[in-house]
Amino acid sequence: MDQLPAKTGPLGYVVIHGHFYQPPRENPWIEQIEVETSAHPYHDWNTRINAECYSPNAAARIYDGQRRILDIINNYEHISFNFGPTLISWLAAMAPATYGKILEADRRSLTALGHGNAIAQAYSHAILPLCRARDRETQIVWGLKDFEQRFQRPAAAMWLPETAVNYPTLAALADHGMKFVILSPYQARRVRPLTGGDWTLVTGQSLDSTQPYRCFLPQAPGETGKRRYLDVFFYNGNVAADLSFGDLLSDSYRFAGRLVEGFTAGRPRLQLLSVATDGENYGHHKKFGDLALAHALSLVLPQKGFQLTNYAAFLEMSPPAREVELYLGQEGEGSSWSCAHGVGRWKENCGCSTGGQPGWNQRWRTPLREALDFLNERLAQIFAEKGQQYLQDPRAAQGSGKYFCPSAAKIRARRSLKKSKASLRGARQRWFQPGWPPVEQPQFSFQRPTPWAQLQELPSPSGPK
């Protein structure tokens, strides 16, 4: 009798992470987005990007060679993702069906993998290494509270805006129970075995991104005990660049093939092939990118023998065996995925630019940053002084998130506004009913307006001058 073939596991594991974010575009006076002509034919950019990216990825079509629909899948169910609070609050209000699909995708992945695909994000996309400690704390706490409110579970990790990081930022994340972060391979400085030994300097090209690393936090002078740490996943930088700035999403087979090039046969450990980019690449920046992603996720990658997962699930299967020390930029303030100099792009004329006329520069960044920091400090003083009239500890209220969750506050405010409008409508209806109000109505006599010539002759209301 022939023996059955031995069961084998996947060749490797794949995580595709999408960072989805839009800044708050609402007019603060009316809490509505006004018409943005540059988004034509749509009302505004949120609406346009939702139509091109966020909604299509919630119901992505898979076609055969004859352009017949084979299936429709929710891409969010198969990728790792984060949605910035300022974006997902807009989706909840303006695209509730898509919002529901995002939440459903996390629930389904939690059931399938034991860990949800969604991770949190710092609340308003601030560059955390440049934040004061209190502001960094607020950004983290509000982001975590917003995540828990929506996904009904605690977050295991937080996306760092622009992947900007330094050790105080990692320490703040560890304080709130975060397990890992996602960084660019160019943010690693050197690595060594977790058991100790010599350090090996690495670059974005030489770092092995198929495994997680452990990053130990510096200890304070005299501090003893077990060292704290966060685990780090470094995505494949070359694939991310080709996906974001090339035409990799024009062909799902090329996309999948490029991603799995990083796999090395014969290694005794599990291998992770991961890429992280702006999620808007899948349909907005790259037209039909949602279709290429869906086809790669559902057909091409499984056919090649690779299994989809998320970072938390892989971390449980394969804990780090190596330690990493981070690169902290030219001035030691931190590093990011979009500034080769560290975090200078958000505070000085570091050399980073997106082009422009000859002779243009970014020297304006320094006075702008200084002005914003000055304004921040002044507002913080006012909040601390005036907040004592209403709160026992204004700083604790701001940093804890216990008393104030911005998204929840907006929801409560809108509900209150709706009630007020309903009360006003009811009052109007009662007022114009016959016999209402039940008091004698004043009698008005209407006369023809006084001609201007005669009006000029009338005495001043305040008496003679």
Decide: helix, strand or coil at residue 86.
Answer: helix
How far is residue 18's CA from residue 15's CA, in Å, rounded to a whole number? 10
**CA 55 vs CA 1, 22, 224, 290, 291: distances in Å:** 53, 15, 51, 10, 12
Provide the pLDDT for residue 460. Answer: 45
Output 399 or 113, whichever has higher pLDDT.
Answer: 113
Provide the pLDDT for residue 423. Answer: 59
Sign of torsion over alpha carbons 419, 423, 428, 432? positive
Q: To the nearest whole number, what is the mean pLDDT of the chain? A: 87
How far is residue 98's CA from residue 83's CA, in Å, rounded to a whole number? 12
What is the CATH code of the structural domain delimited by 12-17+78-84+103-278+297-343?
Answer: 3.20.110.20
pLDDT band for position 138 (cuts 50, 70, 90) = very high
Q: Is the pLDDT of residue 461 over 80?
A: no
Neighbours of 244 (CB within 10 A): 16
Output 336 or 395, whichever has higher pLDDT.
Answer: 336
Provide the pLDDT for residue 284. Answer: 97
Tens of pLDDT, residue by residue over 332-391, are 999 999 999 999 999 999 988 877 788 888 999 999 999 999 999 999 999 999 999 888
Decide: helix, strand or coil at residue 137.
Answer: helix
In percent, the amount of the chain with pLDDT more than 70 equals 84
Question: Burial level of 211, CB count in 10 A (0-12/13-18/19+)?
Answer: buried
* pTM as predicted: 0.84
Q: Is the pLDDT of residue 409 over 90?
A: no
Provide the pLDDT for residue 419. Answer: 59
Nearest to 323 by CA among 249, 217, 400, 225: 217
Provide the pLDDT for residue 403. Answer: 47
Calculate mean pLDDT across residues 102-121: 98
Calculate mean pLDDT across residues 403-414: 52
- Torsion over CA of 42, 280, 246 and 250, rounded to 10 degrees? -80
Calculate mean pLDDT across residues 138-145: 96
pLDDT band for position 449 (cuts 50, 70, 90) = very low
Calculate mean pLDDT across residues 387-404: 76
Alpha helices in 342-405 (DSSP H): 365-387, 394-400
Provide the pLDDT for residue 408. Answer: 53
Token output for 417: 């506004």
pLDDT band for position 444 (cuts 50, 70, 90) = very low
pLDDT band for position 394 (cuts 50, 70, 90) = confident
pLDDT band for position 8 (cuts 50, 70, 90) = low
Provide the pLDDT for residue 453. Answer: 47
Q: Is the pLDDT of residue 430 over 60?
A: no
Tens of pLDDT, residue by residue over 267-315, are 999 999 999 999 999 999 999 999 999 999 999 999 999 999 999 999 9
Tens of pLDDT, residue by residue over 167-176, are 999 999 999 9
Provide the pLDDT for residue 319. Answer: 97
Calculate mean pLDDT across residues 418-434: 56
- Give the DSSP letter of residue 157: B
Provide the pLDDT for residue 402. Answer: 59
Tens of pLDDT, residue by residue over 93-111, are 999 999 999 999 999 999 9
How far is residue 131's CA from residue 109's CA, in Å, rounded to a whole number? 34
Token output for 297: 């996720």
pLDDT band for position 45 (cuts 50, 70, 90) = very high
Output 52 or 453, whichever has higher pLDDT.
Answer: 52
In percent, the amount of the chain with pLDDT more than 90 equals 74
Q: What is the DSSP string of 260-302?
A: HTT--TT-SS--EEEEEEEGGGBTTTBTTHHHHHHHIIIIIHH
Tens of pLDDT, residue by residue over 249-268, are 999 999 999 999 999 988 99
Calculate mean pLDDT across residues 35-52: 97
Token output for 61: 């079509």
Provide the pLDDT for residue 224. Answer: 75
Calculate mean pLDDT across residues 34-54: 97
Provide the pLDDT for residue 401. Answer: 60
Tens of pLDDT, residue by residue over 194-204, are 999 999 999 99
Token output for 395: 């700083």
Q: Is residue 61 within a helix (H) or strand (E), and if so which, with residue range?
A: strand 60-63
Output 239 or 463, whichever has higher pLDDT.
Answer: 239
How far is residue 116's CA from residue 179's CA, in Å, rounded to a whole number? 14
Tokens 């699930």 map to which residue? 313
